[in-house]
Structure 1
Amino acid sequence: MDLKKGKLVEGVVTKVENNGLTIQLPNNLIGFLAKENMHISKKKKLTDVFSLGYVIKANILLKKENHYTLTQKKENIIDSVEDNPQKNFNIKSEQNKATKKQKNKDKKISSDKVGKKLQSKENIVELKKYKKQTEKNNIDKENTPKVTTLTDLKKLKNIGNLKISVKKNNAKVAVKQPKEEKNKIILDIPDDFVENIVKDLEIKTKNFNKLVSRVKERGLLDEN
């Protein structure tokens, strides 16, 4: 597992020397923290300050073959970046690209604003022209006398008692006469009118039954 540069790690001191500390890092990794990379006076001895098992924090500075070089000074991390010309060049080129991109974006925004302003002015001029033309057309319509056409007459079929008959080259107007109602004659019905009909029906029914009986007696009617 590789630890990235600048990462803060915590480890246990396994060896104390005059020039630095050997530290056991997580995942069985080894780190070395030099005295010059620590915030400690040069006159002080590390053996007087640290002992085995002491827990200490530091940042990854470099990766070597069998261990990591550690530091507690942040300026060492920044200096190591500046010492790498290729990496520094890449950072500057990325910054230049970002600056150019922002400038192009600003130019595009400004040009879009100018274009919108010009477009809005053109729209206002066109709108004024359209309003003037519309007002002129309305005035011309009001001043033009209305002429009655054949289509207008066809729409009018009846006006009161007048009936309008319109043909292609001729138009006639006739007076619509109201229809006269015919005199209806209502006859008087006698009081025993219904009773007489019922009696007459009963008499005819009896006569019919007598006739049927005579025919049966003579054997002229088959009942089946």
Structure 2
Amino acid sequence: MRDHESYFAPTEIYHPAVNLGRWRHALDSVSQAVEARAIALLIRRPGEASKDLQMLNSTCLKFVRSPWGVYYDLRLSRLQNPDWEFLSKQPTHQPTLDTLIGPPPAVLGKRADYAFLRKRLKIGTRLGVKLNSDKVWFDAMSIAFTESASHVPWSAIEETKFLLPHLSKDVEKGRTFVQLKSRYSAVLTALNRVKVGLAIALPSGDIIVENDETKRILA
């Protein structure tokens, strides 16, 4: 792990709090810092009808958009459910090797999803971690290393521990920001309906926020 990467990753991590589209860049910086091949962040929403969110680094994102990724999602991804369930019962911010999930390493390595990802993504050993202790939400991260890595380097585990508090805060701040953004949009929509314009401008005169009614008035 190189020094500049350990400083670069946290700065990238906080961008997704206000822009979910930045998660790929943040996870790319994390994968560089811990020298991992693939990273998947699972955000499990409350409610049976809610769909899980998965934020992925570039390697994973490219894979899930391919025909092989579609096949994996439809046929094999459910095999990971016990792994996430295992992580949900672990202490927060405690990196856990996949060999501790339950099945012996030899058996786990032959599991259909493991064998498929090893063939298509050259993924071998994995590290999992729960990000928070929230009783409602469940957030966890899976970090996968290359097939050639016989074990997870100790430096990678230490660097992961360093980055985990930042990741946890970012996920929590992101949830708060989504709620604030929803309320903000509702206010602007209500003002549009009663024909009231609202604008926020900088001292320079540049308008940084304006609703549709303001745009109509200024036009």
The normalised TM-score by structure 1 is 0.22
Larger radius of gyration: 1
Larger relative helix fraction: 2
The higher-RCO structure (CA 8 Å, 6+ apart) is: 2
The normalised TM-score by structure 2 is 0.23
